Structure 1
Amino acid sequence: MQETDDKIIVKNPATGSIVGEVVRGRAEDVRDAVDTALLSSDLWAMKKPVERGKILFKSAAAVRARQNDLARLLTSEQGKPLAEAKNEIQGFANILEFYASVSGTISGSSLPKSDYGYAFTKKEPLGVCGAIIPWNMPAIIMGWKVGPALAAGNTLVLKPASSTPLTNMRLAEIMNESGLPEGVLNIVCGSGKEAGAEIVRNKKISAVSFTGSAETGIEVSKLAAGTFKKMTLELGGSDPMVVCSDADIDLAVSGAVSGRFYNCGQTCTAVKRLYVFEDVADEFISKLKEKTEKMTIGDGSAKGTRMGPLHSREGRDGITDVISETVDKGKAEVLTGGYIPTGEDFDAGNFLMPTVLTGVSPDSRVLNEEIFGPVLPVMTVSGMDEAVIEANKTRFGLGASVWTKSIKNASDFAESVDAGIVWVNRHLKVPPEIPFGGEKSSGTGRENGLFALERYMKEKTVIVSP
């Protein structure tokens, strides 16, 4: 991605070639988009919920019909393998369909009659909402914002990441072509410091949903202070994965590889710390090394690629610096990977081999920071008590998983770990029906499910005198 005074140039992370360009939006463009959203707000809110749902259903069908083209566009600007891109486009459609299916269920409640009379509550849209999304999963995370906001009757101003705006803009176009009225969904491309900041501080926007790093989330919270808007913050994570003695080792190894190296490790809920019970550690680590080394690395658009490049050269260089520092200080050993591949197919891109570290020191950066890339530190623990203690040591609390055949192990871990979502014998996947979000520095509020729909509505009480 490259910015000029009036344009954002989007580049392919695998080749460095230019994919496209968009107009660089400023704060005044956000204000114009907000005013446009305000003009459309009442008409959209007055539509029957089931009518809004029909438009979301039609949009989902249109997205599915264009899945292959959208996936190729997503791969070209983000870098992920084509198979992962197709899954993400399907995920966007799944989210729209879920919120379309529940749009007609929005209701309030009746209250017991009293001396004051009859009372009831009703749900109403908030008005104009804002959304700021990152580059790592731009289609899925757009769905998380657009689905509930629009189903609830709000209009939306959305800022994509500057390096991945093309898929988001195309999805918005498809929704408009499918019957979404003009002004309901407004896309403004631009920097976080200018366009993003205006979304957060604009007092005409009633709610903001932000997905990004914990550090940026803090700044977003500060910027929103005094605006009294609702805030949903889905921030970073350092998800632990615990492998118990009774786990299906082959299943757990496959889960670790896919859970860490999916999207080149650039997922907030990726497996970022792996704890294995001592008595199965040797077998597990041996199989993990073998499976990791079989992964095919390359351009995401090439057939058979299992892991594409990191999204940016800056991100890759930061990760290689952490690996070098950790190993040089004797705080870990590289079991496999840890280097930048060379050759004609790799030199222009941001590639890094999938990396597994062992013998990791508790005070190393790979355990205490969120490493947003294909680096998996593996530690051994004596049992569940130690696993839970280690899992809870970081400031993050997004996701966690435990791999076991024991209901007691699963229950003990789920009860004790600090995480917004806990998986048993799987990791990473979150269906649109399931609430998703974190604790501690991983954010506040929830995406997905009926909970997210509630976040995009306000409740009004009506009292009818006898």
Structure 2
Amino acid sequence: MLHLQNFLNGTFSPPISGNYLPNIKPATGEVFSQIPDSEEQDVQAAVEAAKAAFPAWAGLPAEKRGRYLVRLSELIDQNLERLAEAETMDNGKPLSLAKTVDIPRASSNMHFFGTGIQHFASEAHMMEGVAVNYTVRKPLGVVACISPWNLPLYLFTWKIAPALAAGNCVVAKPSEITPYTAHLLAELCVEAELPAGVLNIVHGTGPKVGAALVEHPDVKAISFTGGTQTGKTIARTAAPMFKKLSLELGGKNATVIFADCDFEKTVAGAVQAAFANQGQICLCGSRILVERSLYDKFKEAFLQRVQTLTLGDPLQPDTKMGALVSEAHLQKVLSYIELAKEEGGTLLTGGERVHLEGRCANGYFLQPTVFENLPHNCRTNTEEIFGPVVTLQPFDTEEEALAYANITEYGLAASVWTQDVTRAHRVSHALQAGIVWVNTWLLRDLRTPFGGTKQSGVGREGGWEALRFFTEQQNVCIKI
């Protein structure tokens, strides 16, 4: 039985309490490791290590800090197979997805910010004949990075990389549901000779470790990705302490399809947006709005393609849909399927748990599920399910499509499918979403700002926005 450890001050350490939590393979339902059930004392030790390391780390030239991140990027590339297998084991996602998306993106995160920090510039303002002002950006100190279970190493590094590049020291909490690749990243930090205390990883639950990080007076900023309710709790705690907050929260995203779209590409894109990673991505398009004149044709083609998705053992190369992350999450998604039926929805395909044969007989598998005939403002269409459940909805006018798309309290992402360039711009600007893709989905440029509106979060990640978040501005005015 593998026992993961906390990573404190450059060394692997057991939890101070000696208590551990079981870590389960979603594809088999088996416990394969034990993770630290850390508490406030472990967080305190991590913060102290980060505080001690901060002066030297912040004092390094940006280029030297960046070299450590580039080295980590190289090590992630060298360990692609091992990391991808660990991610699949821990999360249940297809191995092919982990190999082509999750682990390469983790490497890109490290490389992007490791090199980008060398080009991060501040501003100067001349007061002609009077003074010159220039802006200095300084690291904050100790910051907390709290990441979710759906894209474990991908989102873990998305937060850690800019924080370290900017000169902060980090206490990071991975999800207790998917902790394995965070543990392996710590091993790579040792191999990369990252200075002790610069990155500390504390495993455990949100109520113990997450809360202790948010409440700690020496933690100057919190970058969190997760559920909206947890985000509200963090905001209530952190706001009176005047901590900087970046909250990337839930989504209930619309896929808006017009009759003039490139049909085949649109059907393929809508299926990918609906069911990638078993629908367990905050950016998934779970509400598919289709112009009425195209609706029947689209529905037929969409359902045909959905039924060809291979659901099975995530280690098999032809698997397109693996297991949901946990039994508890599977039951939550199943409860929404029952809710959709109660709300009058017509089940078009799926809706059942799948029991595979062989090693995955006890895994958490669910058929891709599609409903229609649901009210636009019902719970199924407005609450985040975070699983392979989508709805189809026809619309008659552009105004109607926008009203349906904007009806939820979320505003993270949307996609628009049309060949009318003017309409593409017009609809994109009218959508209440932080990210809009046109004729594509999840095409990410790491230089662009990432985040949502309404209850999808506060702040932006990515590019210069991330480096700005993890620094404090100081204006210096020199009289001439």
TM-score (norm 2): 0.94
What is the aligned partner in structure 2 of residue 375 from structure 1?
A: 389
Identity level (%): 35
Q: What is residue 446 of structure 2 aligned with on the other side? A: 432
Provide the residue aligned with 2:264 in structure 1: 250
Residue 304 of structure 1: CA displacement?
1.0
Cα shift readout 1:178-218 (whole Å, capped 9, x = no counterpart) = 13211101000011001100111111011100111111110
1:11 to 11, 24, 37: 24
1: distance between equivalents of 2:110 and 2:151? 16
Do the aligned residues in 2 keep the contact of 1:22 with 1:189 (CA within 8 Å)? yes
Q: Does 1:227 align with 2:234?
A: no
Alignment pair present for 1:321 and 2:345? no
Matched residue SS, 2:245: strand
In the alignment, is the contact (CA less than 8 A) between 1:430 and 1:436 conserved in 2?
A: no
Partner Cα separation in structure 2 for residue 130 and residue 448 of structure 1 = 17
Which residue matches 1:446? 460
Task: Identify the residue that residue 348 of structure 2 maps to in structure 1.
Answer: 335
For 1:26 and 1:422, the matched residues in 2 are separated by 40
Q: Could you tell me which residue of structure 1 aligns to residue 126 of structure 2?
A: 112
Alignment of 1:281-320 (within 5 A): 281-320=295-334
Unaligned runs of 5+ in 1: none
Residue matched to 2:9: none
Alpha carbons of 1:175 and 1:429: their partners in 2 closer, same or farther (altered >3 Å)?
Answer: farther
Measure the CA separation in 1 of the matches of 2:402 and 2:479: 56
Q: Pick from 362, 376, 382 the counterpart of residue 376 of structure 2.
A: 362
Match of 1:92 in 2: 106
Preserved contact between residue 253 and residue 284 of structure 1 (Cα < 8 Å): yes
Structure 2 residue 214 is matched with structure 1 residue 200: yes
Name the counterpart of 1:164.
Answer: 178
Q: Distance in 2 between matches of 1:406 and 1:103?
A: 39
Q: Secondary structure at the match of 2:311?
A: coil
1:434 positional shift: 1.9
* Residue 65 of structure 2, aligned match among 44, 47, 52: 52
1:292 is displaced (CA, Å) by 0.4
Contact 1:106/1:123 (8 A) holds in 2: no
Q: Which residue of 2 aligns with 1:39?
A: 52
> Match of 2:477?
463
**Superposition deviation, residue 461 in structure 1:** 2.1
Tell me the secondary structure at the aligned position of residue 242 of structure 1: strand
2:7 corresponds in structure 1 to none
Superposition RMSD on alpha carbons, in Å?
Answer: 1.7
Counterpart residue identity of residue 59, structure 2: M
Structure 2: 5+ residue stretches without partners: 4-14
Letter of the aligned partner of 2:133 in structure 1? A
Q: Is the counterpart of residue 20 in structure 1 residue 33 in structure 2?
A: yes
Segment of structure 1 superposing worse, 115-124 or 209-218: 115-124
Deviations 1:134-154 (A, max 9, x none): 101111111211111011010
- CA distances 1:244-289 after superposition (whole Å, capped 9, x unpaired): 0100111111111111111100000001100000111111110110
Are 2:74 and 1:61 aligned? yes
- CA separation in 2, counterparts of 1:460 and 1:321? 51
How many corresponding residue pairs?
A: 464
> Which residue matches 1:421?
435
Pick which of 185-194 and 294-303 moved more. Answer: 294-303
Which of 155, 170, 173 is 1:141 aligned to?
A: 155
Code of the aligned partner of 1:447:
E
1-structure distance, mates of 2:262, 2:380: 26
Matched, 1:268 2:311: no
How far is the alpha carbon of 1:116 from its aligned partner? 6.5
CA distance in 1, matches of 2:479, 2:296: 73
CA distances 1:13-50 after superposition (whole Å, capped 9, x unpaired)? 01012222222211111111001000000111011001
Partner of residue 175, structure 1: 189
- Give 1:352's aligned residue: 366
CA apart distance, 1:447: 1.1
- Secondary structure, counterpart of 1:108 in structure 2: coil
SS at match of 1:206: strand
Residues 116 and 463 of structure 1 are in contact (CA less than 8 Å); yes or no, is this contact kept in structure 2? no
The answer (yes or no) to whether the contact 1:13–1:76 under 8 Å persists in 2 is yes
CA spacing shift, 1:415–1:363, aligned 2, 3 Å: closer
Length-normalised TM-score, structure 1: 0.96
Check 1:424–1:14 CA distance in 2 against 1; reply closer, same or farther (3 A cut): same
2:411 to 389, 392, 397: 397
In structure 2, how many angstroms separate the alpha carbons of the residues matched to 1:230 and 1:67? Answer: 34
CA shift, 1:163, in A, is 1.0
Query: Which residue identity does 2:83 align to in structure 1?
Result: L
Whether the 8 Å contact between 1:155 and 1:184 is mirrored in structure 2 is yes
Conserved in 2, the CA contact under 8 Å of 1:274 and 1:376? yes
Alignment match, 2:43? 30
Counterpart position of 2:6 = none
SS in 2 for 1:380: strand
In the alignment, which residue of structure 1 is the partner of 2:12?
A: none
